Amino acid sequence: MFAGAKIKYWVLSVKTLIFELRNRKRIRVLKGDITKAIGFEAIVNPANSLLLMGGGVAGAIKRVGGEEIEAEARKHAPLPVGEAVVTKAGRLGVKYVIHAPTMENPAMRTSLMKVKAATEAALKAAEATGITSILFPGMGTGIGGVKPEAAAEVMTKIVLDYLDKSEKLREVGFIAYSDDLFRAFLKAIKNNLTSS
């Protein structure tokens, strides 16, 4: 995975860090609100299988982007963990929302195995749609109850492996609402890059 690559990174502000990888691919880590994200084609919604967008990241996406996002997604319900669906993004600053369930029902606990399956499903859906840049929140780290460090480690490993092999995907971002998750993403990326 990116063996022999020179890793460059820049701190653009307190809120953004960019890792330049080989093959002109990059990883970005941001601190902020996923609904205000720009510079990506798609954001990921860590959904439930019913694709109801009531709370957490999903609720925020629906409030800012509009109810049409949920209406379009619900046409594909129930969607099992390990699959993903792409919808338009309404009034958000991106083109698409990728709905990747991390849990079967709203507001339930989840597991690292489901976070892994949802992350992989989102990447595959992006690739199949021709999306070149995608932004992930901390999958399962809210109501799902997965510890930020554990989710970040699993997610970054999957993303780096996938990005190394992908022909279409050029950039993947991780956005953290909290300082703890931001630090967890940074640590996990650095760990995964130095161990490759």
Where residue 152 falls among pLDDT bands split at 50, 70, 90?
A: very high
User: What average pLDDT does this structure show over 117-142?
Assistant: 97
Asked whether residue 94 is domain-assigned, the answer is yes
Asked whether residue 2 is domain-assigned, the answer is no
Identify the pLDDT of residue 30: 94
User: What average pLDDT does this structure show over 150-159?
Assistant: 97
Identify the pLDDT of residue 20: 87
Residue identified by tokens 């499903």 is 121
CATH for 150 = 3.40.220.10
Give how many domains the chain has, as a whole number: 1
Asked whether residue 40 is domain-assigned, the answer is yes
Asked whether residue 5 is domain-assigned, the answer is no
d(CA 129, CA 161): 19
Query: Which DSSP helix (H) or strand (E) runs through 176?
Result: strand 171-176
Asked whether residue 1 is domain-assigned, the answer is no
User: Distances from the Cα of 61 to the Cαs of 16, 51, 90, 103, 182, in angstroms?
Assistant: 21, 12, 9, 17, 20
Nearest to 31 by CA among 18, 11, 8, 14: 14
Residue 182: is its pLDDT beyond 90? yes
Residue 15: is its pLDDT beyond 90? no
Phi-psi region of 181 (alpha: psi -120 to 50; beta: other; left: phi over 0): alpha
Residue 93: is its pLDDT beyond 60? yes
Residue 1: is its pLDDT beyond 70? no
Identify the pLDDT of residue 4: 47
Range(s) of the domain holding residue 45 = 10-194
Asked whether residue 23 is domain-assigned, the answer is yes
Asked whether residue 64 is domain-assigned, the answer is yes
Identify the pLDDT of residue 113: 98
Structure tokens at 160: 């780096």
Asked whether residue 130 is domain-assigned, the answer is yes
Residue 14: is its pLDDT beyond 70? no
Residue 2: is its pLDDT beyond 70? no
